[in-house]
Structure 1
Amino acid sequence: MKKIQLLKIVCASLILVSMSCKKAEETPAETAKPTFDLAAEKTAVEAGYREFEKAFNAKDSVTLANCYATDAKFMPQSSKAVEGRPAIQKEFTQWFKGDTPQIAIKLVELWGNETNLTAENSWTMTGKDGKVVDEGKSIELYKKEEGKWKLLRDCYNSNMPQAK
Structure 2
Amino acid sequence: MRKSLNFIKSTIVSVTVTTLLLVLVSCNTSQKEKETTFDKIAAKEAIAKENKIFTDAFNKGDSIGAAMTYATDAKFMPSNQKAVSGRKNIQTTIAGYIKAGEINLSIKPVEVWGDEMMLTVEEEWSMTDKDGKEVDRGKALELWKMEDGKWKLFRDCFNSDLPCMPPPPSK
- TM-score > 0.5, shorter chain as reference: yes
Structure 2 residue 61 is matched with structure 1 residue 59: yes
> What is the CA distance between 1:65 and its match in structure 2?
0.5
Bigger radius of gyration, 1 or 2? Answer: 1
> What is the CA distance between 1:73 and its match in structure 2?
0.3
Q: For residues 100 and 82 of structure 1, what CA distance do their matches in structure 2 show?
A: 23
Give the one of 95, 101, 105 matched to 2:103: 101
Query: Which structure 1 residue ranges, 5 or more long, are not aligned?
Result: 10-15, 21-31
- Matched ranges for 1:7-156 at <5 A: 35-156=37-158
For normalisation by structure 2, the TM-score amounts to: 0.76
Q: For residues 128 and 97 of structure 1, what CA distance do their matches in structure 2 show?
A: 14
> What is the CA distance between 1:95 and its match in structure 2?
2.1
Q: For residues 43 and 108 of structure 2, what CA distance do their matches in structure 1 show?
A: 15
> What is the CA distance between 1:103 and its match in structure 2?
0.6
For normalisation by structure 1, the TM-score amounts to: 0.79
Query: Which structure 2 residue ranges, 5 or more long, are not aligned?
Result: 9-14, 20-32, 167-171
Q: Deviations over 1:82-131 (max 9, x none)?
A: 00001001111222222131011111111100110000010110001111
Q: Which amino acid aligns with 1:79?
A: Q
Residues 102 and 130 of structure 2 are in contact (CA less than 8 Å); yes or no, is this contact kept in structure 1?
no
Q: Which amino acid aligns with 2:59?
A: N
The CA RMSD over aligned residues, in Å, is 3.1
- Runs of 4+, deviation exceeding 3 Å: none
Q: For residues 110 and 159 of structure 2, what CA distance do their matches in structure 1 show?
A: 15
Q: Secondary structure at the match of 1:50?
A: helix
> What is the CA distance between 1:49 and its match in structure 2?
1.2
Calculate percent identity across the aligned residue pairs: 50
Q: For residues 38 and 44 of structure 1, what CA distance do their matches in structure 2 show?
A: 10
Q: Secondary structure at the match of 1:86?
A: helix
Q: Secondary structure at the match of 1:40?
A: helix
> What is the CA distance between 1:38 and its match in structure 2?
1.1
Which structure's residues are more often helix, by fraction?
2
Q: For residues 64 and 103 of structure 2, what CA distance do their matches in structure 1 show?
A: 18
Aligned residues: 155
> What is the CA distance between 1:147 and its match in structure 2?
0.8
